[in-house]
A = this chain, B = another copy of it.
C-alpha cells in the first residue's frame, strides 16, 4: 500500500478527509441498512420510490437517470411498484410518449415508515454523543449537503 493511502488518522489534507469521509458514509449506511428488512421493500424499489416521494412525480426516463439505471431496468422496477399499489402512472397529455409516474398514499406511507426506522436508529446514536461532538456534526451538515448535491462540482 502506498504511503498516501494510509488515511493518516489526524489527516487534514483534502485527500485524507475525502478518504475518511467516503469510508464513513459507506459504513454508516451499511449499518443503517439492517433496518431495511422490515419494510418488505427491496433496495432498488425503495430507492426509486423515494425519488417519487421526495422529488414528486417524474417520467420513467427521469427516474432511470436519477437512479443511474437503464430505462428497461426502471421500466420493470416501476411495473413492480405499480403492481404492488405503491405507485401509479398516466400518460402525459401533452406528449403521449411519456408517463407521469407518482407515488400513491400507500407507497408514501411505506417509504416513510422505512426511512423513519433508519432515522430513528441514527437519532438514538446522535443523542448518545457528547455535546461537542454533536455540535461538530451539526455544524458540518450544511456543507455535507452541498457536497452531496449533484451539481457539487
Chain A interface residues (CB < 8 Å from chain B): 1, 5, 12, 14-15, 17-34, 53-56, 68, 112, 115, 118-129, 133-134, 136-150, 152-153
Pick from B19, B68, B121, B141: contact of A24, CB below 8 A. Answer: B141
Pick from B31, B55, B140: contact of A136, CB below 8 A. Answer: B140
Ranked 3 nearest A-B pairs via Cβ: A27-B148, A140-B140, A18-B122
Pick from B54, B124, B139, B147: contact of A28, CB below 8 A. Answer: B147
Say whether B148 contacts A144, CB under 8 Å. Answer: no
User: Could you tell me the distance in whole angstroms from the C-beta of A41 to the nearest C-beta in chain B?
Assistant: 15
Say whether A17 contacts B138, CB under 8 Å. Answer: yes
With CB as the reference atom, state the residue of chain B lying closest to A139.
Answer: B136
Cβ contacts under 8 Å, A122 to chain B: 18, 21-22, 147
